[in-house]
Amino acid sequence: MYITAAAPNKRSLGAINGLAQTTASVVRAIGPVTSTSMFAYSIQHNLLGGYAVYAVLVTMSVVSLMLTVKLPETTEKKV
């Protein structure tokens, strides 16, 4: 709904959706690689007993939730 509301007009809606899908696909491809690498690094360097990756991921989740709360409740444009 937010992506559809972000389109300035109906003609650009397809491009906006395409960019959103591409961004989501890139994040889904990079996410597992990054978390696995962080896990291996935290074990190899004994950061927080090898559990530093979980602290990073929990912190990222909390920040994401804080940003999500700031989204508007409706996607209607005020005129």
| pLDDT computed for residue 77 by the predictor | 64
**What token pair was written down for 46?**
């004994």
11-51: pLDDT as tens digits: 888 888 999 999 999 999 999 999 999 999 999 999 998 89
The domain limits of the chain are 2-69
Q: What is the pTM of this model?
A: 0.67
**Closest-CA residue to 18 (of 34, 29, 3, 40):** 3
Residue 63 sits at the vertex; the CA angle it makes with 61 and 69, to the nearest 5 degrees, is 100
Split at pLDDT 50, 70, 90, the class of 61 is very high
